[in-house]
Amino acid sequence: MEITTIGLDLAKSIFQVHAVDAAGEPVVRKTLRRAQVLPFFAKLPPCLVGMEACGTSHHWARELTKAGHQVRLMPPAYVKPYVKRGKTDAADAEAICEAVQRPSMRFVPVKSGEQQAALALHRTRDLLVKQRTQLVNMVRGLLAEFGIEMARGLHHALDLARRLVAGEAPEVPALAQRVVTGLADQIAALQVQLAKLEKELLAWHRSSDLSQRLATIPGVGVISATALAASVIEPERFRSGRQFAASLGLTPLQNCSGGKERLGRISRMGDRYLRRLLVVGMTSLIRRARAKPESVDPRLPALLQRKPTRLVTVAAANRTARVAWAIMTRGGTYRSPTATPAA
């Protein structure tokens, strides 16, 4: 029995193995407990191991690589077509084993522990920002029930939270005042946690040459730069900047039939978090372009005069993704385009 390829279906405690030989014949179909995974692979000669990319896959990929195996991660959406029938762990492992052998399959690079730690900061910050928004909206809704309107904007909400905690609450019933004060305490605590996380991200940014170079792109700040530097591994695997933008879901969908090609909306397929950061960054850049047109790329104000604002925002995010790919693959920093002299 000579195993050449293994499909490993990951889970929290139960793992399914599907192994084949050089002829593609199944030789092992086995269920493993979590504690049995590493001992099982330690006894095998080096072979190709396929797994679906998920939250724990990078850890197992690093561990199996240390054992001498060649590990390849695949997007689950690309594995699904190989599932023949039903949804079982055994069927999933067999599909993974078949998919990893396809020459046209696209693979996900394995992240290092340091990169995953940086992304953990991002995920935690994103969660706390959402919780802060929920609390602010809750406070706004409760005060509105008593005829009190809170100005929009985070700084107004934080200022009100500080006044509520200090006892300078508006004229509301005592019970409601205690409820709102409790929510204000939570907002203030979240703000402290967010400040600590952002300091950690800033320290990571200053230690990363790539992140600092990415931050030279207009509309890309510390948050976006660190997220790109930690998320994108082996940018050279993309043949062009357009391919990288497509991996973030920023390129239009294509509908080709009978020699006719039609372009639709952006696909929104890929890394949702990076796509959102780029779009938010470009939204800020569009605001600056409206207030101070001379401080941005001259093509941006001209485009705003011809196209809707949201379309320009997404187009700018698409272009920024291509610029980021060029910096990641070729080095250097962002260079502002020179204005075309008037005729």
- Per residue in 276-285, pLDDT (tens digit) is 999 999 999 9
Find where tokens 């930690």 sit: 230
- Tell me which residues of the chain have a pLDDT lower than 70: 1, 161, 164-165, 167-171, 338-343
* Residue 153, token pair as written in the block: 């904007």
Domain boundary among 155, 180, 207: 207
Cβ contacts of residue 248 below 8 Å, gap of 6+? 270, 271, 274, 275, 278, 321
Domain that holds residue 187: 113-207
**Domain for residue 293, yes or no?**
yes
Judge if 223 and 131 occupy the same domain.
no
Judge if 303 and 255 occupy the same domain.
yes
Q: Please compute Rg for the chain using Cα positions.
A: 25
pLDDT of residue 340: 46
Strands 26-33 and 14-20: antiparallel
Helix boundaries (H) for 166-221: 174-207, 209-214
Determine contact, residues 183/138, Cβ cutoff 8 Å.
yes
Judge if 35 and 88 occupy the same domain.
yes
Residue closest to 270 by CA, chosen among 231, 309, 225? 231
* CA 8/CA 90 separation, integer angstroms: 9
Judge if 89 and 182 occupy the same domain.
no
Judge if 36 and 122 occupy the same domain.
no
Find where tokens 């200022």 sit: 159
Find where tokens 């969908």 sit: 253
Judge if 222 and 311 occupy the same domain.
yes
pLDDT of residue 171: 66
**Domain for residue 318, yes or no?**
yes
Determine contact, residues 106/78, Cβ cutoff 8 Å.
yes
Judge if 83 and 152 occupy the same domain.
no
**Domain for residue 105, yes or no?**
no
Judge if 135 and 241 occupy the same domain.
no
Please count the structural domains in the chain: 3
**Domain for residue 108, yes or no?**
no
**Domain for residue 57, yes or no?**
yes
Specify the CATH number for the domain of residue 72: 3.30.420.140
pLDDT of residue 342: 42
Domain boundary among 46, 77, 99: 99
Domain boundary among 207, 239, 266: 207
Q: What is the dihedral of CA 38, 42, 47, 51, to 10 degrees?
A: 0
**Domain for residue 325, yes or no?**
yes
Judge if 156 and 85 occupy the same domain.
no
Judge if 60 and 144 occupy the same domain.
no
Residue closest to 18 by CA, chosen among 68, 89, 77, 110? 89
**Domain for residue 183, yes or no?**
yes
Judge if 267 and 193 occupy the same domain.
no
Judge if 194 and 130 occupy the same domain.
yes
pLDDT of residue 85: 82
**Domain for residue 46, yes or no?**
yes
